[in-house]
Amino acid sequence: MNHNPSVSKTRKFRDLLLRKELAFLMEAHDGLSARIVEKAGFEGIWGSGLSISTALGVRDRNEASWTQVLEVVEFMAESTSIPILLDGDTGYGDFNNFRRLVTKLIQRGIAAVCIEDKVFPKTNSFIENKQPLAEIAEFAGKIKAGKDSQTDADFCIIARVEALIAGHGMAEALKRAEAYRQAGADGILIHSKKSSADEILTFAKEWANRAPLVIVPTKYYATPTEHFRQAGISTIIWANHNLRSAMQAMRETSRRIFEEQSLINVEGNVTPLNDVFEITGDHEIAEAEKRYLPGKRHDAGAIVLAASRGKSLEELTREKPKCMLDIRGRPLLDRQVAALNNAGISRIAVVGGYKAETIKVSGIKLVTNPAWDSTGELASLAKAADLLEGTCLVSYGDVYFRDFVAQILLDTEAEVALAVDWTLARGPGRAANSRDLCRCTKPYSTDPFHEGATALAAIGTLAPDQAHGEWIGVAAFTPKGSEKAKAELQRMRAEGTLDQASMPDLFNRLVAGGTEVRVKYIGGNWCNVNDAFDLANLRNML
Ligand code: SPV
Ligand code: MG
């Protein structure tokens, strides 16, 4: 594969066309499909006239103007590093129109163009019988004009012979191919609409490699590729299969959503949103912002700790961890991911453990802690330590919280910020079980003049009268805070205390080391799921 950016695309195409080994071009019709073709491993792209027209919602009859096609292929070229052979139909007019097309294609980074010996406006070769062919001399002149005007010596012009399709026979096809070769064509595309490859293979034999041969086996698709290899074909074009697969998938998705008035059965069958961001290289913006927008709060990430089973939920967690429990039609984790997304967080890692393979939520990166049963929360956090960078939110996977909670934590300037519920700590029974009670520098106050920030003094299993609130299991770290937390994890690993340690242990160590751990008081608006009672509460809350 030649994805080397220092070799021009025109050169890459010429090399593909001229090499001994069979080459393949895959159809694309826009920037997205072009990227998909390159990522699949193809070395070149067929910019199909049929597919580009259809994707624009018009017929393959030159209904899209040549400048509209140019706009599309520019997006395709911009988003890929492999060469594109554009289906230039008949060249959009006479020799003069074609000259201009060649010049513009080179300017837009297209490696080669294919023109067919029909008359403008063309129709698709598979539609009608006996389409009129161009005069041989006129078409040869067009090729010559194109070759004379190309400003890049490696740019290729492929001449497509339609004589077999139009029913003029083998001799006419060979005569035309030879005339086009002599006019300067770099390769010949011999087209056929028969369901067997016989006439293509006969042509190849008679042609005897006078110039590279390109074929489009759309109709004779059952012929094994090996036959073409043995016949000395240079290049095979898979001409329209991305368009057709996209149509099929879109139809099915639309039908289902229309009928069911719900996304529930579709979500798992469509590309995750993160993939959508990934294919256009969205992460690069965050990197560029670090360089060019130094004052901006950078794209926040999140790490969700979801390794535990949730033992007190027994039956309900036999097949899946508690983060995947269904809460009114959606897994708990899915709801948390939505809350994070709504706070502008799209880079989300989930650390799974118990039945991690059942954690199927779109838009997350799954990391696993295989020793989830014998280790604690910080061992899980450490598994995602490379994602603990920049502004980062860390949360428990069994927590549901309203969207604003993540936002107020992200808006806090302190290096570490915890959401602490002041209403629950003193509730009957609850405080006694919690390991997350917080003693703070100030209690919550409804007095609007009760100014100043509240910081954490200690967190853990406290006597209820010592606690000002309960940490809800969601914390935010600024870039500096993330660095400090990571350094703390490393120290604990060196001491041998990491594996059994909890998030409260981390906060207490940070406080002891002089880091301000800010407390943001909230009153309710969250729920964690430890038992069936919590589950019922949460279902009622939604
Ligand atoms: C195209 O893909 O637009 C082509 C190939 O020209 S074909 O449809 O086979 O004619
Ligand atoms: Mg076409």
What whole-number distance in Å separates Cα of residue 181 and Cα of residue 497? Answer: 76
CA distances from 347 to 35, 408, 510 (A): 22, 18, 25
User: In this structure, what token pair is assigned to residue 2?
Assistant: 């030649």
Sign of CA dihedral 53, 54, 55, 56: positive
3-class state of residue 394 by DSSP = strand
Q: Which one, of 80, 76, 74, 77, lies nearest residue 3 by Cα?
A: 80
The pLDDT tens digits for 365-375 are 999 999 998 99
Supply φ then ψ for residue 178, to 5 degrees: -65, -40
The reply to whether 298 and 446 lie within a common domain is yes
Site to substitute for ligand 1 among 125, 191, 236, most atoms within 8 A of C-beta: 125
Distance 210 CA to ligand 1 centre (A): 24
Structural domain contains residue 254: no
- CA–CA separation, 415 vs 194, rounded Å? 70
- Tell me the CATH number at 481: 3.90.550.10
* Angle, in degrees to the nearest 10, between helices 169-182 and 136-149: 30
- Give the predicted TM-score (pTM) of the model: 0.63
Count Cα neighbours of 261 within 13 Å in the Cβ-side half-sphere: 0
74 shares its domain with 221:
yes
Last residue of a domain, one of 239, 261, 294: 239
Q: Tell me, yes or no, whether 261 lies in a domain.
A: no
Mutate to test the pocket of ligand 1, among 27, 37, 45, 48 (most ligand atoms within 8 A of CB): 48
H helix runs in 108-240, sequence order: 136-149, 169-182, 198-207, 225-230
Question: Dihedral (C-alpha) 455, 461, 466, 469: value to the nearest 10 degrees?
Answer: 50
pLDDT tens across the length of the chain (542 residues): 456 778 999 999 999 999 999 999 999 999 999 999 999 999 999 999 999 999 999 999 999 999 999 999 999 999 999 999 999 999 999 999 999 999 999 999 999 999 999 999 998 888 876 789 999 999 999 999 999 999 999 999 999 999 999 999 999 999 999 999 999 999 999 999 999 999 999 999 999 999 999 999 999 999 999 999 999 999 999 999 999 999 999 999 999 999 999 988 898 889 988 789 889 988 788 778 778 876 555 578 999 999 987 767 777 788 888 899 888 888 999 989 988 888 888 889 999 999 889 998 888 999 999 999 899 999 999 999 988 998 999 999 999 998 889 989 998 889 999 999 998 655 555 656 678 999 999 999 877 666 678 999 999 998 878 889 999 999 999 999 999 999 999 999 999 999 999 999 999 999 999 999 999 999 888 988 888 888 888 888 77
What ligand is nearest to the CA atom of residue 240? 1
Is the C-beta atom of 124 inside 6 A of ligand 1?
yes
CATH of the domain at 204: 3.20.20.60
The reply to whether 126 falls in a domain is yes
Smallest CA-to-CA distance from 383 within 447, 312, 304, 300 is with 304
* Residues 404, 323 share a domain: yes
> Angle at Cα 140 formed by Cα 134 and Cα 146, nearest 5°?
115
Q: Find the domain containing 373 and state its range.
A: 273-541
Ligand 1 atom at minimal distance to the Cα of residue 114 = 6
CB of 299 closer than 6 angstroms to any ligand 1 atom: no
Residue nearest to atom 10 of ligand 1 (CA): 125
Q: How far is residue 32's CA from residue 9's CA, in Å, rounded to a whole number?
A: 19
Which amino acid appears at position 234 of this protein?
S
**50 within ligand 1 shell (Cβ under 6 A):** yes
Specify whether 60 is catalytic. yes
Q: What separation in Å is there between the alpha carbon of 489 and the centre of ligand 2?
A: 60
In a domain, 259, yes or no: no
Is the shortest distance between the CB of 62 and ligand 1 below 6 Å?
Answer: no
Helix (H) or strand (E) holding 437: strand 437-440
Ligand 1 atom at shortest distance from the alpha carbon of 116? 6
Residue 250 in domain: no
Q: How far is the CA of 60 from the centre of ligand 1 (A)?
A: 9
Question: Does ligand 1 lie within 6 Å of residue 49's CB atom?
Answer: yes
Q: What is the dihedral of CA 343, 347, 353, 355, to 10 degrees?
A: 80
Distance, CA 64 to ligand 2 centroid (Å)? 12
Same domain, yes or no, for 235 and 296? no
Residue 240, ligand 1, Cβ within 6 A: yes
Ligand 1 contacts CB of residue 242 (under 6 A): no
**Do 320 and 440 share a domain, yes or no?**
yes
DSSP letter for 497, please. Answer: -
Burial 95-124 (b: 16+ CB within 10 A, else e): beebbbbbeebbebbbbbbbbbbbeeebeb
pLDDT score at 129: 65
Distance, CA 315 to ligand 2 centroid (Å)? 59
Same domain, 280 and 232: no
**Measured from the CB, is residue 192 less than 6 Å from ligand 1?**
no
| Number of the ligand 1 atom closest to the C-alpha atom of 89 | 6
Catalytic pick among 30, 60, 398, 505:
60
pLDDT at res. 435: 86
Task: Ligand 1, residue 46: give the atom nearest the CA.
Answer: 2
Distance CA 91, CA 182 (A): 19
Neighbouring C-beta atoms of residue 180, cutoff 10 Å: 27
Helical axes 479-495 vs 503-512, angle rounded to 10°? 100
Could you give the number of structural domains in the chain?
2
Last residue of a domain, one of 218, 239, 260: 239
